[in-house]
Structure formats: structure tokens, C-alpha cells
Structure 1
Amino acid sequence: MSEFLFYMIIFLANIIQGITGFAGTILAMPFSVPIVGYEVAKPVLNVLGILAGIYVVAGNYRQINFAQLKKICIYMGIGILAGIGVKHLAAGHENLLYGMLGIFVLLIGGKGLLECVTRRKKKKEYTRGAGALLLFAGIVHGMFVCGGPLVVGYLSGCTKDREEFRRTISAVWIILNSMILVSDLLAGYYTADTIRIQAVAVLFLFGGMFVGSVLYKRMSQQVFMVLTYLLLCISGLSLIVRK
């Protein structure tokens, strides 16, 4: 039953991923950790992030903003290495990590929901402190594979339309999650059971991405962004109050 719930979380989270180009992992991770554990959720969701990125980018890689892709990957790549180091130092203190993730997710969800409800306009481009922002996003991504919302705040002001944004951010996950994959392999996260769960999870990933791609063409993205941030708030709270 726990595995089935994990697969359904992956399916529903990746409907949002198919619409927005992000949020699949950060929605799935807080709900998945209590069900299957960090050492299963992180490697499985990380690989699914790579495959989700390929799914979006394969449609038209020419719409990728390669200048921004290079900048993001350099800064976040450094941050990811730091985040992996922090995760290893915190081994044995999983409840502390869950609490940190819950607070982070809750803050991101609350901020995003406020922007959606008040319809505040984002700045045209994030230039001040962009390097520090991306470094921190990399640290969070290295620890939890959840750095997406921070990158969204930066990249949304640096791309000309939502197609360029969607494909560029998907290309980011292909590159950066591949770094985390190497770390997970070296850490021994991939047992026979994890590989089995990974193989089944891929089917639910592509099912969700397909539904999301269809909805992306037919429905308002605003509605789904509000839903995404609401779910983030709920999932963040669930991690903070978990025993």
C-alpha cells in the first residue's frame, strides 16, 4: 500500500510538472519521505526529474536559453556539491533535515501563493544577488532535490516566454540531477529494491507528464500555480509536524 501511494504521489505531482516545467519533485518529496523514506525517495525522484526534463526538452531544444542555462548550472553545480556535503554531515539527524525541508517548502509555498492571489508582478530580471540565490538553490537541490522554486524566481525574469522558460528549466534538471545521480550511486542508495521501485515509478511519471502536457495546452496555468503553492504549504506543514 505504501508503494502504491508513492506511485500516486509521483503521478499527481508530475501532472503539475508537465504544466509548469517544475514543482514535480518539490511536491512529491515531502509526501514521499514519510511513506518510503529519504533513502528511497531522493534517488528515485532525482532520476524521475532527469526523465521529466528530457520529456519536455525533446519537443524543441532550440527554445532553450543556453546563456542562462550555463550560468545557472555553474552556480548551482557548486551549490549542489556543498549540499551533498551538508547532507552527509547531518547523517543520523533525519528529523532535523525533514524540519528544515518543511520550513523551506512552507516559505516557498506561502510566498508563491501570496503572489498568485495578489497578482503581484515579478521584477523584469533578477540581477542583484543572482549568484548567491543560485548557489543557495544548489545547496537545497543537493540536499533534497528541491531547489526548483528558487531557480523559478530567477529564470522567470530572464526568459522571453513560458515555452523558453519551461524548456530551459527542464534542461537545468537534466544536467544538475545527473550530478546528484552520480553521488547517489556512490552513496549506495541504489539497492535492488530501489531499482525495482524506480522502474515502476517511471510509468507513473510519464503518465502524469502526458496528462500535464494536455492540460498545459487547454487550461489556465494560473489555476494550477495556485494549486501547486497550496499543496506546497500543506506538504511543508506535514513535514514540520511529523513525529
Structure 2
Amino acid sequence: MSSILLGGLVVCITHILEAITGFGASVLAMPFLSGLIGVKTAVQIVSILTWLFTLTIALKNVHEIDWKQYGIIMGFMLAGLPVGMYLYRSQESGTLFRLLALFIIAASTTQLIRSANTWKQDEKIGISSFILLFAGGIIHGVFSSGGPLIIFYAKKALPDKGSFRATLCLLWASLNTIIIGTYLIEGSLGKETLGATGIMIPFIAVGYLIGEHIHHRIDERKFSILVFVMLLLTGIFMLFQTR
């Protein structure tokens, strides 16, 4: 029980951050939850909690969703998913995961330096941006962690913080619907997992209320900096997971 409650505290803190920015809770929470309750159980719990959490934010802020960008991101991710699923079965994933983590750390650090030096960023969307989306789909197929690559595109395509958060939350809710559907078809969701998930719901509710309050009071520049700080932390945590 103490492990579940400690896990709930981790879930609360990481979901405060996700309520502010629209991403990050899963990757940040996984290293801690895996150590507390085991990898398989942690993955299933996080998938369900993320689905509930992001669906709530998306529905509450449906008027802020950029449906065009949602379609573009989802389309490229779905195109890359089969490639990632193939690589998952045929390649050494540890090296790929470390390279992804190092790329995220380097790219987010670069963006933080730019944010510190200037208010205006280069927001042009080129072919490289769409390649990132496709790569995000591949990475998601291999590790279920393609989100960080999507953020680099979304930050350019969705400069408004409200639209950024709402659109990404709908994306995560959609992807986790597929994942949870797979669990149900396989019959892999046990009573222990569902019970632990139920215990943690109040923790994400508190995280939502605190994060929602902060989201509406943070200005665009600080929001942008926070996004890249979150990405940097994500890269570091992903690198930590490969040790």
C-alpha cells in the first residue's frame, strides 16, 4: 500500500506538469513507478491515467483544439507506427533509445539557449518538421515514447499555449485509446492493476486542479521555456532508463 501511495504522489506531481503543458507525465513518471510497482503494471496504470487525464483536458477545451494540426500529426504518427513495430521486433532497441534521449537533450538545450537570448523564434515549418512527426510515429512504435519528437513540431505549429495543450491532449487520448483497447482484447488488465489505478485517480484530480490553475496564469514566453525544460527533463529521464 505504501508503494501505491508513493506512486500516487509521483503521479500527482507529474500530472501537474502535464496539466500545464499538455505532455510529459508518462515519461517522467515511468522510471519511478516502474521501481515501485513493476514495469508491466506501471505501463498499464500510466496508460489508463493518461487516457483519463488527457481526454478530460481535451473535452473541456475542445474549442481550442486545432483540428488541422491534429490530423497532420496523427497522420504522420500512424504512418510511422508500423515501421516502429517492425523495428521493435528486429533491432536492438537499447542503442536507439539512448540516441533518442541524447537528441532530445541536445535539441531542447539549444531551444532553451535561444529562448534566453531572444523573444522571437524561427517558427517556419519545413520538411524537417514533418520528418520529425514521421520519426515520432516510428519511435512510438518501438518505445511508446514518440511524444518528445512531436513536441518540437507542435511548438512551431501551435504557438498558442491553449491550442498547444488541447491538441496534444487529444492526440495522447487517441493513442492511448488504441493501447487500452489492445489491453482489453488481450485480457491483460488484472484486478490489481485496476485497483491501483482507482487509488491514483484522486492524485491526478489534484494534479489537474493545480496544473489548470497555473496554466491560465503563465505567460506565453514562460510557457515556451517550461515546454523545453520539460523536454530536457524527459530526455534525461529517458537516458536514465537505459542505464
1:187 Cα shift?
Answer: 4.1
Distance 1:33 1:109, change over 3 A: farther
- Whole-angstrom CA distance in 2 between matches of 1:148 and 1:57: 17
Counterpart selection for 2:110 from 101, 105, 114? 114
Residues 76-96 of structure 1: CA deviation (Å, up to 9, x unaligned): 123334444554x37xx9xx7
Deviation at 1:69, TM superposition (A): 0.9
Q: Distance in 2 between matches of 1:47 and 1:116?
A: 32
Aligned residues: 236
Matched residue type, 1:53 = T
- Alpha-carbon deviation of 1:101? 4.0
Equivalent residue number for residue 190 of structure 1: 189
8 Å Cα contact 1:25/1:145 also seen in 2: no
CA deviations over 1:173-205 (Å, ceiling 9, x no partner):
121221122223334431121111222222222
Cα distance in 1, alignment partners of residues 142 and 45 from structure 2: 14
- Residue identity opposite 2:71 in structure 1: K
In the TM superposition, what are the counterparts of 1:77-96 in structure 2 within 5 Å? 77-84=78-85, 86-87=87-88, 89=89
CA distance in structure 2 between the partners assigned to 1:160 and 1:221 by the alignment: 10
Counterpart for residue 49 of structure 1: 50
Alignment partner of 1:231 out of 226, 230, 233: 233
What is the correspondence of 1:161-176 to structure 2 with a 5 Å cutoff? 161-176=160-175
CA-based RMSD of the aligned residues comes to 2.8
Pairs within 5 Å for 1:1-243: 1-84=2-85, 86-87=87-88, 89=89, 100-101=96-97, 103-119=99-115, 122-219=121-218, 220-221=222-223, 224-225=226-227, 227-229=229-231, 231-241=233-243
Q: Output the TM-score relative to the length of structure 1.
A: 0.82
Could you list the runs of 5+ residues in structure 2 that have no partner in the other structure?
A: none
Q: Which runs of 5+ in 1 are unaligned?
A: none
Deviations 1:124-158 (A, max 9, x none): 23330444322221232234432222111112211
The whole-number CA distance in structure 2 between the counterparts of 1:210 and 1:218 is 13
Q: Give deviations 1:3-59, integer Å, cap 9, x for gaps.
A: 233222211111110110111112112333333333122222122222222222223
Change (3 A) 1:31 1:97: farther
Mapped to 1, the partners of 2:59 and 2:108 lie a distance apart of 28
TM-score (norm 2): 0.82
Q: C-alpha separation between the residues in 1 aligned to 2:13 and 2:99?
A: 22
**1:62-115 alpha-carbon deviations (Å, 9 max, x no partner):** 22111111121122123334444554x37xx9xx75675455345324431332
Q: Return closer, same or farther for 1:24/1:99 CA change in 2, 3 Å cut-off.
A: farther
Identity %: 24
SS across alignment from 1:156? helix
Determine helix, strand or coil for the equivalent of 1:125. coil
Q: Distance in 2 between matches of 1:78 and 1:30?
A: 28
Q: Structure 2: which amino acid aligns with 1:111?
A: A
